[in-house]
Amino acid sequence: MSDPRILVALDYPAAADADRLVERLDPSLCRLKVGKELFTAAGPRYVEQLAARGFEVFLDLKFHDIPNTVASACRVAADLGVWMLNVHALGGRRMLEAAREAVGEGAERPRLIAVTVLTSMEQADLGELGITEPVGELVDRLAGLAGRAGLDGVVCSAREAGPLARHFGGGGLMVTPGIRPAGAARGDQRRVMTPAEARAAGSTHIVVGRPVTRAEDPAAAVEAIAAEWERAG
Ligand code: C5P
């Protein structure tokens, strides 16, 4: 079974838009990330359709609520057959533990990862919330909480992947956005890494949006990124 490390972000407002891309992609070379926009537009049946077409899906809904509600949502997501889902570590230890228990056991269970601090948040934004801890230390603290709750890894910048991996034992999943193949447009991403740099820094999976979704030939873009990833191994 292939284990593709490229997670293509389906950042689209409707299933029809996503389909135009998905039709051109190969499930042995990439997985798909469905976030709040597409999920709100197209719903769980669309996620099931992607799975039926052979794609493994990362459901990026970043659950954050009381433990019971998050656990129930995780259970439903697991029943949908998603490969991976995520929650906000700021929901706290009890929420993380409840989410972890809800996804079940066994090799077929969905992977469960945590978001620590949104990269859109700067120190001043945290200060407005009454959080004075340096952002890097807070990220590390929350990753530690997630690791102790039994989660499988974190979404983080590739720069943080190496240091944070220790919280998840040997097999932690370090899922990193902000990836731009050499020569690709940065768009609104500020601190970017190439796929090879990300792998060398400890990423286990890379989230790639526009370098694939806006490519003239998305399949070729995925192939090139996959080849770069392999060469960096
Ligand atoms: O188009 P691009 O490659 O920048 O898309 C990256 C994807 O990763 C988007 O879905 C974006 O929301 C997501 N993401 C991110 N940075 C984070 C967390 C998620 O770019 N810190």
pLDDT reading at 154 higher than 90: yes
Q: Does residue 95 contact residue 87 with C-beta atoms inside 8 Å?
A: yes
For the stretch 117-152, what's the b/e string if a residue is b when 16 or more beta carbons lie within 10 angstroms of its beta carbon? bebeeeeeebeeeeeeeebeebbbebbbbbbebebb
Report pLDDT for 1. Answer: 62
Report pLDDT for 197. Answer: 97
Nearest CA, atom 14, ligand 1: 177
Residue of 207, 208, 222, 225 with the most ligand 1 atoms within 8 Å of its CB, for mutation? 207
Nearest CA, atom 15, ligand 1: 177
The tens digit of pLDDT for each residue in 162-181 reads: 999 999 998 999 999 999 99
Average pLDDT in the chain: 97
Q: Which of 62, 64, 75, 94 is catalytic?
A: 62
Q: Which two tokens stand for residue 131?
A: 């959080």
Q: Count of CB atoms within 10 A of residue 190's CB?
A: 8
Instruction: State the distance from the centre of ligand 1 to the C-alpha of 9, rounded, in angstroms.
Output: 7
Residue 62 is a catalytic residue: yes
Query: Does ligand 1 come within 6 angstroms of the Cβ of 218?
Result: no
The tens digit of pLDDT for each residue in 97-107 reads: 999 999 999 99
Query: Does ligand 1 come within 6 angstroms of the Cβ of 189?
Result: yes
Whether the full predicted model's pTM is greater than 0.95, yes or no, is yes
Q: Quick one: what percent of the chain has pLDDT higher than 90?
A: 94
Read off the pLDDT band of 133 (50, 70, 90).
Answer: very high
Query: Does ligand 1 come within 6 angstroms of the Cβ of 35?
Result: yes
Instruction: State the distance from the centre of ligand 1 to the C-alpha of 188, rounded, in angstroms.
Output: 10
Determine which helix (DSSP H) or strand (DSSP E) holds 49, and give its type and residue range. Answer: helix 36-52
Instruction: State the distance from the centre of ligand 1 to the C-alpha of 177, rounded, in angstroms.
Output: 5
The CATH label, of 3.20.20.70, 2.30.110.10, 3.40.630.10, 3.40.50.720, for the domain at 6-231 is: 3.20.20.70
